[in-house]
Amino acid sequence: MPTKKKTAKRAASKKIMSKKKVVKKTVKKAAASAKGGAPLKPSKQSKKNVRRAPNKKAAPAIAIKRVEVTKKAVSSAGSKIRVHIQRLVWWGTVSVFLLGALAIIANYSTALNRSELLPEKLAQVSVLSAEYADPIELPPEEKPPVTIMAVGDVMLARYVERKMRGNQDYTWPFHNSAEFLRDADITFANLESPLLAGANVEDNVYYFRADPSAAAGLSWAGFDVLSIANNHTMDYREYGLQTTLDALRAAGLDAVGGGKNVDEAHTPVMKLVNGQRIAFYAYTDNSIPPGFNGVTTDSTPGIAGMNVEAVQNDVKNALRSADFVVVSMHAGREYSKEPTGLQKEFARAAIDAGASVVIGHHPHVVQPVEWYGDGLILYSLGNFVFDQFFDEEVRTGLAAKISLQKDKRPVLKLYPTRLETVQTDVVIEEPRRSELLEKLGVAY
């Protein structure tokens, strides 16, 4: 028989199980209602357990349960949204940082490239500026002057040749003057004797001849250009002309004023000094004795004759490529201190055509210096090397040092020369130089 104690336990157990069943049913009905089922009706038992709020309808227990479930769901969804938002913010921050870093790197690279390309860009700007800006004329660079040393007649025949042969030295006439002659860019003279082998010429003979070896003496002395347009070059006709040209060429010297035809005789010697071209021409008066000067023609060798129209054409043609033109004329009366009308006309015509300097030979004495227009005329420089010693006038000549510079008048400095037997002295020292120039009437 069960005891009262056991019977009470069983009754309590049944009561508990009954409550559990009621709770389960309530939960199921709440779930069904949440899915759209009919509203729950509170059971008698549940009604007993529900508290009533004062002045308000009592909320069913299951509604509270639903609210709690909804709050939890909303809370859970909010938590997830917050997590997503936090992640988006974090990635956004990282992205902004990365983009900022990339922008900094890109700007630095661009600045570097710009700095490297700056010279090129500036050059392009300069080119564009030069293309579209008004042209600016810059002053031309001034080139250094060209210096020319010009001396008078050089005759190496007769007594002069005997002295050279006797001393076995073809430089003998220039021992006292060579150093002076070399002190110029170009040294010029009139060669008054043809060069060809043969017997010595007597003093009273007026057909000059010097040994071809004399050309080496001229080169040693410092000469560069020699006029052969004079009344003695053709003393031995075409043969003497050709041997003279050959001897001078072999010695490295330029001959001007003669050739195998008229074109060659009128072709200038062109010298290049300090980037500037200097053209040399030479002409002779074909009326000067001994009566045969051998003026060239289109088909015969000879020398260039004096003609105003010809010299003007020659000078103008030369100035197409030359910076300066120097003209030599062999004209005038022997031993006369004044120039003839032909000398003046010819020299001035050459200057009018554009020549810078005209250098005269033949009178054997010094004649005046003339400034004409922008040019310089030296009508006669007298003798430089000759075998004439009969008075002071034929023994005294001039050495002219001329400086030529573009668009400027020539600059002149004169030095007296003195024939002492065969060797020529140049007077450089003052006051002797000035005294002699004053006597000659050419104080430059």
d(CA 283, CA 204): 26
Over residues 198-222, mean pLDDT:
88
141: alpha, beta or left, given left = phi > 0 and alpha = psi -120 to 50?
beta
Q: Could you tell me if 215 and 264 lie in one domain?
A: yes
- Assess if residue 214 is contained within a domain: yes
Q: Could you tell me if 313 and 429 lie in one domain?
A: yes
**Full domain range(s) for residue 352:** 146-440
- Looking at the 3D structure of the chain, how many domains does it have? 2
Contacts of 159 (CB under 8 A, 6+ apart): 203, 387, 422
Phi, psi of 189 (to 5 degrees): -155, 170
- Assess if residue 136 is contained within a domain: no
Q: Could you tell me if 154 and 127 lie in one domain?
A: no
Q: Could you tell me if 320 and 220 lie in one domain?
A: yes
Angle formed at CA 437 by CA 432 and CA 439, multiple of 5 degrees = 100
- Assess if residue 240 is contained within a domain: yes
Q: Could you tell me if 66 and 210 lie in one domain?
A: no
- Confidence (pLDDT) at 142: 82
Tell me: the pLDDT tens digits for 77-110?
556 666 666 776 666 676 666 776 666 665 545 5
Contact yes or no for 91/99 (Cβ under 8 A):
no
- Assess if residue 139 is contained within a domain: no
Q: Could you tell me if 121 and 184 lie in one domain?
A: no
d(CA 256, CA 122): 54
Tell me: the pLDDT tens digits for 397-427?
999 999 999 999 999 999 999 998 889 999 9
Say which DSSP state 286 is in: T
Tell me: the pLDDT tens digits for 6-54?
455 555 555 555 555 544 555 455 445 444 444 444 444 444 444 444 4
Q: Could you tell me if 180 and 83 lie in one domain?
A: no
- Burial of 191: CB neighbours in 10 Å, binned 0-12, 13-18, 19+: buried
Give the β-pairing of 396-404 and 254-256: unpaired
Position 5 confidence tier, pLDDT thresholds 50, 70, 90: very low
- Confidence (pLDDT) at 80: 65
CATH of the domain at 320: 3.60.21.10
Q: Could you tell me if 279 and 334 lie in one domain?
A: yes
Query: For residue 85, what are the β-bridge partners?
Result: none
d(CA 367, CA 344): 12
- Assess if residue 247 is contained within a domain: yes
Contact yes or no for 43/26 (Cβ under 8 A):
yes
Q: Could you tell me if 243 and 372 lie in one domain?
A: yes
Q: Could you tell me if 156 and 73 lie in one domain?
A: no
Contact yes or no for 171/429 (Cβ under 8 A):
no
- Confidence (pLDDT) at 394: 95
Q: Could you tell me if 80 and 152 lie in one domain?
A: no
d(CA 91, CA 79): 18
Domain boundary among 97, 131, 165: 131
Say which DSSP state 177 is in: T
Using alpha carbons, select from 312, 403, 305, 297 the residue that is nearest to residue 351.
312
What count of other Cβ atoms lies within 10 Å of the Cβ of residue 238? 13
Residue 324 has pLDDT above 50, yes or no: yes
- Assess if residue 137 is contained within a domain: no
Give the β-pairing of 258-259 and 302-303: antiparallel
Tell me: the pLDDT tens digits for 45-64?
444 444 444 444 444 444 44
